[in-house]
Chains A and B, each alone.
Chain A
C-alpha cells in the first residue's frame, strides 16, 4: 500500500506484525495488545496501531520508545483520529511520526496534516495528483492549527497555509 508524505509516495520501511508470528528485527508496527512484546525487543524501531476507540493516554508510558503511531479510520466519516493525532502532539508532545491508515479521502488530507499527521496510507490505485491538489487547495485557514506554527496573515484568525 503506497505511503504518502508531503504529497509524494515514499518508501515504506515499516512492516505490520503478522498475527501468530514473532516480531523479528527491523521497523515493526504492532497492534496495541502486543505493545509490551514490542517494547521488549532490542533490534529495530517500534510503531503501534492506536484504535480510534482508545484514548491516547494508553500510550503515555510507551511513547518515548515509539518511533511511529498509526491512527486509524475505519470509515472516513469517523473523525476521532483527528483528535487523537492532535492530542499526541499537543498533550503528550510526541515527536515521532504519526501515520493515518484506513478509509481516508484526499479531501481530508490538509486536516490530517494540520492535526499533526505526517504520512497517509493510500490505496494502490490512488491518483497522486488528486491528493496533491487536495493538499494545495486552500491558501488560508481561519483557526490556529493545534500543532503547526502556521504564519498568521497579520489579520484576525487567518493564517497562510504552507505548501509542501
Chain B
C-alpha cells in the first residue's frame, strides 16, 4: 500500500456499521486473497490440475452449488445482519448476474439461482466491495453463524448475541482443523430466553445470558438437527463461561472430527454421533478433550471481546418524545395499518422504537424471494428509518430493527406501495419453503407451487387472523431444508411411484417448546394436500378452546381426529 493511500485510509472517518462488525483494511485484504484463491482454483479446474471431485468441495466452500439448471451462489449474511450498502450490492448481483431477484434462505443467507460459472469471480468481487463473501455457505465445514433477527432490539433480550456470533464467525473462518469435517456444521446463537433461532435443532445451539459480574455465560445445546433424522439437541453445559467459549467449541468439534461417521453421508452429522454414544458419553469425551487442551491459547479474554465489540456500530436512539402517542393515533385512524402493526412488529427495548418484520410472503407469492427493486427499496428504508441496518430472518422475511414509532406509518405506506406490506407474519401464509425441484438437484418435489397454492387458498386476511398463529414449512425432500419437522404443519415432498406427492406432519415446533412434527398419513397429490390442509384448519377452528393456537389444539386433542378428517371416507 502506498503512503498516499495509507494516509487516505487512515483519514477516512471511522463510521462503524450498526449491528455488525466493521471491516478494516486487514479484513478486506483477506477477502481479496480469498477471491484470488478461488480464481486460481477455477483456472486449475479448467487446466485439468483439479478433478471435478477435487474442485467440488472447494467451490462449495465459496458458496457455489451446481443445481438442476444452473449454478447457484449462496452469499453469507453473518448473524443475519446487513448494511444498506450491502443490500444494494445484492440488488446489483440480482440485476447483473441473475434474473433480477434473490432468495432469502432459512439460514439467514441469500442465494442467487441463475449464476454462470464464468461470472462467479466477478460476483464475488462485487460482494467484497461491500465487505461480503460466500465463504463456507456450503461444504463440510462450519457454516454461517445464525442469530436472533431481533438481536440488539428485542425487549425480552438479555444479551445481544451478535458480538459472540462475530467471534464464532472469525474463529470458524478457514479453521485449519475443522474445514474437512464429516459433514456440514451449523451454529445458532441467541441472547433471549425466547428461542427465535431454533437453537435446539442445530449442531450447536448457544443461548447467552448475563452471568456473575455481568460476564456472559452460555447454555450449550449439541446434536440437534432436522434432515432425515430429526433430533432435539441435548444440553451439554448450562453455565459455560465466556472465556472458555472457543475452547469448549474446539473440544466439541475435535470429538466430532475424530469420531463422527464418514462411511455414510446420511449418518455423518454430529447428532448421529451424540445419539450413538449417548449424551453422557459424548459429554465425557468433550470434557476429557477440554481439560487436556492448552486452554490459555483459546481463552477469550474480556479485552479481546471488547476489541471486537468496539468494531460494532451502535444505534443512537433519539428521545422518546411523543412517538408512542403518534403511533397510537395513526393506528386509531387507519384500520389496515393497525392490523399490520399487530402482526408485523416486535416490541423494542428503547422507548419510542419498534422492530418491523417485512413480509416476503405476498398472497400467492414465492416465499423469501425479493426483486432487485425491492432490495433497493429495503436499503433506502434502512437508511432513512433504521440506522442503515437490515436483518434476514430464518423464516425468510426481513426485519428493520430500529424504527421510530412516529415514522412507522410512513414505513408501512412505502412498503405497501412496493408489495411488501402484507400483514401476515406468523400466520398461515407466512410459509417457509426450500427452493425444491424448481431449482434443486436433490429435491423429489416442487415446494414453490404448493406454497403458492396454499398462500392463495388462505389469502383472505380476515380468515388468517381468525386462524391465528400457524407455521407451515415445506421441504421438497427428506433433507428438510424447509424445516418441515419444526412446523406446526409441515409438508414434505416425496416421490411416489414417479409422481410428486406430499406428506403432512403435525405438531412440530422450533422454539423453546421444541418438538418434532409427526407424519399424519400417506402422501397425497399437490391439490389433495391443499384440500387436506383446509380440512385440518376447519377442524381446528371447530375444536379450539380459549384462543388456543393450532399447535396447542393438536397437542391437546391428539392425532386421531386430525387423521380422520384427512383420510376417513366422507
Q: Is the CB of A142 within 8 A of B258?
A: no
Contact A139 to B177, CB < 8 A, known contacts A83-B257, A90-B293, A130-B49:
no
Q: Is the CB of B176 within 8 A of A77?
A: no
Q: Is the CB of A144 within 8 A of B298?
A: yes
Stretch binding the partner chain, chosen from A3-11, A61-69, A94-102, A150-158: A150-158
Stretch binding the partner chain, chosen from A17-25, A26-34, A41-49, A104-112: A104-112
Determine if B181 is an interface residue (Cβ-Cβ < 8 Å). Answer: yes
Q: Is the CB of B167 within 8 A of A157?
A: yes
Alpha-carbon distance A80/B177, docked complex (angstroms): 8
Alpha-carbon distance A157/B50, docked complex (angstroms): 32
Contact A91 to B171, CB < 8 A, known contacts A82-B257, A144-B297, A145-B176:
no
Q: Is the CB of B41 within 8 A of A107?
A: yes
What 0/1 readout, one digit per residue, does chain A (68-87) give for beta carbons within 8 Å of chain B?
A: 00000000111110111011
Determine if B69 is an interface residue (Cβ-Cβ < 8 Å). Answer: no
Q: Which of A125-164 contact B (CB under 8 A)?
A: 127, 130, 133, 137-146, 153, 155-158
Contact A111 to B177, CB < 8 A, known contacts A91-B293, A137-B37, A157-B167:
yes
Give which listed residue, A55, A82, A87, contacts B180 with CB less than 8 A: A82
Stretch binding the partner chain, chosen from B28-36, B270-278, B349-357, B397-405: B28-36
Q: Is the CB of B180 within 8 A of A143?
A: no
What 0/1 readout, one digit per residue, does chain B (27-59) give for beta carbons within 8 Å of chain A?
A: 001100110110011001000011000100110
Q: Is the CB of B294 within 8 A of A90?
A: yes
* Contacting residues, chain A, for B57 (C-beta < 8 A): 77
Residue of B nearest to A85 (CB): B177
Q: Is the CB of B171 within 8 A of A157?
A: yes
Q: Is the CB of A146 within 8 A of B177?
A: yes
Determine if B175 is an interface residue (Cβ-Cβ < 8 Å). Answer: yes
Q: Is the CB of A143 within 8 A of B49?
A: no
- Chain A's interface: helix, strand, loop or mixed, by majority? loop
* Contacting residues, chain B, for A144 (C-beta < 8 A): 297-298
Q: Is the CB of B29 within 8 A of A157?
A: no
Determine if B229 is an interface residue (Cβ-Cβ < 8 Å). Answer: no
Determine if A115 is an interface residue (Cβ-Cβ < 8 Å). Answer: yes
Q: Is the CB of B258 within 8 A of A80?
A: yes
Q: Is the CB of A155 within 8 A of B177?
A: no
What 0/1 readout, one digit per residue, does chain B (356-380) give for beta carbons within 8 Å of chain A?
A: 0000000000000000000000000
Residue of B nearest to A111 (CB): B176
* Total chain A interface residues with beta-carbon distance under 8 A: 39
Q: Is the CB of B257 within 8 A of A111?
A: no
Output the least CB separation between A140 and chain B (Å). Answer: 6
Give which listed residue, A55, A145, A158, contacts B26 with CB less than 8 A: A158
Determine if B304 is an interface residue (Cβ-Cβ < 8 Å). Answer: yes
What 0/1 readout, one digit per residue, does chain B (147-174) give for beta carbons within 8 Å of chain A?
A: 0000000000000000000010011111
Contact A143 to B257, CB < 8 A, known contacts A90-B293, A127-B49, A137-B37:
no
Q: How large is the interface on B (under 10, 10 to 19, 20 to 34, 35 or more residues)?
A: 35 or more
Alpha-carbon distance A111/B57, docked complex (angstroms): 15
Contact A76 to B180, CB < 8 A, known contacts A90-B293, A90-B294, A146-B297:
yes
Q: Is the CB of A130 within 8 A of B176?
A: no
* Contacting residues, chain B, for A138 (C-beta < 8 A): 30, 33-34, 37, 174
Residue of B nearest to A158 (CB): B26
Contact A140 to B30, CB < 8 A, known contacts A76-B54, A77-B140, A157-B304:
yes
* Contacting residues, chain A, for B30 (C-beta < 8 A): 138-140, 142
Determine if B254 is an interface residue (Cβ-Cβ < 8 Å). Answer: yes
* Contacting residues, chain B, for A141 (C-beta < 8 A): 174, 176
Q: Is the CB of A130 within 8 A of B44?
A: yes
Alpha-carbon distance A122/B72, docked complex (angstroms): 33
Q: Is the CB of A139 within 8 A of B140?
A: no
* Contacting residues, chain A, for B41 (C-beta < 8 A): 107
Q: Is the CB of B167 within 8 A of A133?
A: no
Contact A79 to B181, CB < 8 A, known contacts A114-B176, A140-B30, A153-B26:
yes
Q: Is the CB of B179 within 8 A of A79?
A: yes
Determine if B9 is an interface residue (Cβ-Cβ < 8 Å). Answer: no
What 0/1 readout, one digit per residue, does chain B (500-517) give for beta carbons within 8 Å of chain A?
A: 000000000000000000
* Contacting residues, chain A, for B176 (C-beta < 8 A): 82, 110-112, 114-115, 141, 143, 145-146
* Contacting residues, chain B, for A139 (C-beta < 8 A): 29-30, 33
Output the least CB separation between A157 and chain B (Å). Answer: 5
* Contacting residues, chain A, for B441 (C-beta < 8 A): none
* Contacting residues, chain B, for A127 (C-beta < 8 A): 49
Q: Is the CB of A137 within 8 A of B257?
A: no
Q: Which of B238-291 contact A (CB under 8 A)?
A: 246, 250, 254, 257-258, 262
Interface residues of chain B, those whose CB is within 8 Å of chain A, are: 26, 29-30, 33-34, 36-37, 40-41, 44, 49-50, 54, 57-58, 140, 167, 170-181, 246, 250, 254, 257-258, 262, 292-294, 297-298, 304, 307-308, 311
Top 3 closest pairs, chain A to chain B, by CB: A79-B180, A111-B176, A114-B176
Pairs across A and B, CB under 8 Å, 22 listed = A79-B178, A79-B180, A79-B181, A82-B176, A87-B254, A90-B293, A90-B294, A91-B292, A110-B176, A111-B179, A115-B177, A137-B37, A138-B34, A138-B37, A139-B29, A139-B33, A142-B30, A143-B170, A143-B173, A156-B304, A156-B307, A157-B308
